[in-house]
Amino acid sequence: MEELSLFDVLYHEYKWEKKDFGYDGPYPPYVRIGMKMYLLPPSLEPAFEKWYGALGIFREKLLIHDLLGKFRYVRMTDEAVEDGMGLKYVGAFDNSIPFRIVSLNKTEMILRHPDEMASLPFWYPILSPASKVMLSR
């Protein structure tokens, strides 16, 4: 099972450029997590946003469920967990095994560890350190 980082997927498959990511922080490059707004019917959907560009609602976005829907597994490294959830969660679960993506909703992704029956919710900001989040099909 080949793993690709979120950065590699955005950079190679979606043709994002290096300037579309943020580099301030301990584990760059970063992708911005935002919302895409629809007017008819009025709704918001979670999306990856390019770091620079137009202001807020006009910034180019890629829906999170469109990208993650192409993958079956996600694995967060300790660095991604530390950056997205805080140091106290590092080591709370086994990061060497990919979690299966069960569902994606407006605020979080529901993941399941392959050895356990319980599903765990993870908020989307854990995906921000793009080179530390590994995806596989």
The answer to whether the beta carbons of residues 110 and 121 sit under 8 Å apart is yes
Three-state SS for 28?
A: coil
pLDDT of residue 103: 92
The answer to whether the beta carbons of residues 75 and 60 sit under 8 Å apart is no
CA distances from 34 to 11, 78, 105, 111, 133 (A): 18, 23, 14, 20, 17
- Other beta carbons within 10 angstroms of residue 9's beta carbon come to 18
* Residuewise pLDDT in 10s, the chain (137 residues): 789 999 999 999 999 999 999 999 898 999 999 888 888 888 889 999 988 776 666 678 899 999 999 999 999 888 888 888 878 777 777 778 889 999 999 888 999 988 777 788 888 888 999 999 999 98
Run of H or E residues at 44: strand 43-49
pLDDT of residue 38: 86
